[in-house]
């Protein structure tokens, strides 16, 4: 099963169906030129999404999930004509397609949560009365860094998660952490950076190359700049060192800037650690000593 590839699989099914028709000599109806045009423009996008790798799964998926999803989600079906990977950005989906995919995913979750994990439906019911997360995770918004997945597939109600690009400890993040520790009584706070972080790399470019960042991105990475500056020339892996130091710095600043959390740390109720996630190996390296 590959929930992410439903749309792509359906497109592939259509594409392969058309190719089959062309192979059977029905191309003279006018289908063939369309297929050929698509094929000549699309190979990179198709490969980038691993569509070919999922080709063997497509018939089974198309027989239930995708079919029912399209019945229930006309907007998703409408998006298909625009499902033109040639004009789409790197992700391969247009904004409209991405939104439709999100809606489909959420619909699957609501209709049959067990399709995602064994006990999500039960947990959803259990948690309706209240949450008691056991860890707070401040991490990057990077789509490869999903705490619930990388921490062993923990279910609903376990992690209280704060995310932004570069896992920056801004006011929103600090307030969220205060809420999670003080009111939800989460006993652990993890500030987790990750290897190959684009936000940290951008901050490093500002420091090292004088790069100018557009829009609000420059402001967003400002808290990373002093960390990057301090790491400059300290390691051959400038970005990697800054990622690590940024996580440690964020973890340290929590108690320094929040009397609420500091009090909980002092009385042993809360522990704060830093961590770095390796997006290649899947390993999380914890840094316990942040002082
Ligand atoms: Zn990142």
The domain segmentation of the chain, as residue ranges, is 3-52+91-287
* Least confident residue range of 94-98, 188-192, 244-248: 94-98
Count Cβ atoms within 10 A of the Cβ of residue 151 and give its class: 0-12 exposed, 13-18 middle, 19 or more buried.
middle
> How far is the C-alpha of 230 from the C-alpha of 204, rounded, in Å?
11
Looking at per-residue confidence, does 31 or 165 come out higher? 165
Residue 131 has pLDDT above 60, yes or no: yes
Helix runs in 153-258, H state only: 171-178, 198-209, 217-221, 225-231, 238-257
Q: What is the mean pLDDT of residues 252-259?
A: 97
C-alpha 210 to ligand 1 mean position (Å):
20
Considering only residues 282 and 46, tell me which one the structure prediction assigns the higher pLDDT.
282
Neighbours of ion ligand 1 (CB under 5 A): 140, 142, 197, 199
Q: What pLDDT does residue 63 have?
A: 36
According to the model, what pLDDT value does residue 186 have? 94
Angle at alpha carbon of residue 161, lines to 153 and 182, rounded to 5°: 125
Task: State the pLDDT at residue 91.
Answer: 55
Q: Which two tokens stand for residue 174?
A: 């600090």
> How many angstroms does the Cα of residue 143 sit away from the middle of ligand 1?
9
| Pairing label, strands 284-287, 135-139 | unpaired
**pLDDT recorded at residue 110:** 78
Q: How far apart are CA 75 and CA 83, in angstroms?
A: 12
Confidence of residue 241 (pLDDT cuts 50, 70, 90): very high
Q: Which residues have a Cβ under 8 Å from the Cβ of 144 and sit 6 or more positions away?
A: 194, 279
Q: How far is CA 244 from CA 68, 137, 206, in A?
A: 45, 15, 18
- Choice among 68-77, 125-134, 232-241, 281-290 with the minimum mean pLDDT: 68-77
Compute, in angstroms, the gap from residue 34 CA to the centroid of ligand 1: 40
pTM exceeds cut of 0.75: no
At a CB cut-off of 8 Å and minimum separation 6, what does 242 contact? 200, 203, 204, 224, 227, 228, 231
- Residue 157 Cα to ligand 1 midpoint, Å, equals 24
Across the strands, what pairs with 194?
Answer: 277
The predicted model gives 118-129 an average pLDDT of 87
Pairing type for strands 188-194 and 135-139 reads parallel
- What φ, ψ does residue 280 adopt, rounded to 5°? -90, -45
Give the lowest-confidence range in 92-96, 137-141, 170-174, 178-182.
92-96
Sheet holding 188-194, edge to edge: 159-163, 135-139, 188-194, 271-277, 284-287
Residue 162: band (very low, low, confident or very high) from pLDDT cuts 50, 70, 90: very high
Residue for token digits 């939104």? Answer: 99
Q: If we measure between CA atoms, which residue out of 134, 138, 216, 225 comes closest to residue 173?
A: 138
pLDDT band, residue 1 (cuts 50/70/90): very low
Q: How confident is the model at residue 116 (pLDDT cuts 50, 70, 90)?
A: low
Homologous superfamily of domain range 3-52+91-287? Carbonic anhydrase (3.40.1050.10)
DSSP 280: T
Cα 195 to middle of ligand 1, angstroms:
8
**Is a pLDDT exceeding 70 seen at residue 279?**
yes
pLDDT, greater one: 149 or 278 = 278
Give the distance (Å) from ligand 1 centre to CA of residue 194: 6
Helices and strands: H and E segment counts in the chain: 15, 5
Å from CA of 76 to ligand 1 middle? 30
pLDDT of 224 reads 97
**Angle of CA points 283, 179, 272, to nearest 5°:** 40
Which carries the bigger pLDDT value, residue 30 or residue 230?
230
CA distance 13 to 263: 59
Task: Identify the pLDDT of residue 17.
Answer: 36
Give the distance (Å) from ligand 1 centre to CA of residue 166.
Answer: 5
Residue 196 confidence class, pLDDT cut points 50, 70, 90: very high
Radius of gyration of the chain, Cα coordinates, nearest whole angstrom? 23
Q: Does the structure show a pLDDT above 60 at 93?
A: yes
pLDDT exceeds 50 at position 68:
no
- Whether the per-residue pLDDT at 218 is higher than 70: the answer is yes
pLDDT beyond 50 at 80? no
HSE (side-chain half, CA atoms, 13 Å) at 75: 11
Among 11-25, 148-162, 180-194, 261-275, where is mean pLDDT lowest? Answer: 11-25
Confidence category of residue 61, pLDDT binned at 50, 70, 90: very low
Nearest-angstrom CA–CA distance, 19 and 11: 12
Rounded to the nearest angstrom, the distance between the alpha carbon of 139 and the centre of ligand 1 is 8
What's the chain's average pLDDT?
75
């Amino acid at each position: 099963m590959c929930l992410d590839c439903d749309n792509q699989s359906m497109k592939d099914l259509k594409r392969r169906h058309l190719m089959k028709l062309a192979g059977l000599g029905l191309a003279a109806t006018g289908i063939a030129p369309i297929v050929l045009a698509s094929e000549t423009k699309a190979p990179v996008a198709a490969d980038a999404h691993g569509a070919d790798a999922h080709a063997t799964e497509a018939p089974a998926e198309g027989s239930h999930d995708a079919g029912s999803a399209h019945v229930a989600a006309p907007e998703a079906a409408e998006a298909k004509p625009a499902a033109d990977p040639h004009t789409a950005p790197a992700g391969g989906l247009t904004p409209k397609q991405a939104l439709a995919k999100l809606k489909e995913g959420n619909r699957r979750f609501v209709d049959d949560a067990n399709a995602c994990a064994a006990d999500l439906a039960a947990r959803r019911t259990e948690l309706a009365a209240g949450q008691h997360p056991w860890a707070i995770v401040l991490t990057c918004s990077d789509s490869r860094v999903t705490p619930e997945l990388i921490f062993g597939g923990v279910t609903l109600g376990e992690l209280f998660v704060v995310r932004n690009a570069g896992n920056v400890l801004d006011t929103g993040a600090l307030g969220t952490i205060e809420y999670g520790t003080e009111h939800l009584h989460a006993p652990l706070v993890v500030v987790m950076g990750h290897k190959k972080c684009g936000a940290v790399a951008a901050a490093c470019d500002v420091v090292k190359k004088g790069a100018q960042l557009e829009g609000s991105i420059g402001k967003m990475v400002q808290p990373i700049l002093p960390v990057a500056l301090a790491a400059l020339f300290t390691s051959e892996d400038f970005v990697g060192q800054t990622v690590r130091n940024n996580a440690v710095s964020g973890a340290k600043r929590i108690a320094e800037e929040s009397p609420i959390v500091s009090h909980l740390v002092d009385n042993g109720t809360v522990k704060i650690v830093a961590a770095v996630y390796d997006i290649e190996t899947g390993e999380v390296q914890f840094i316990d000593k942040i002082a």
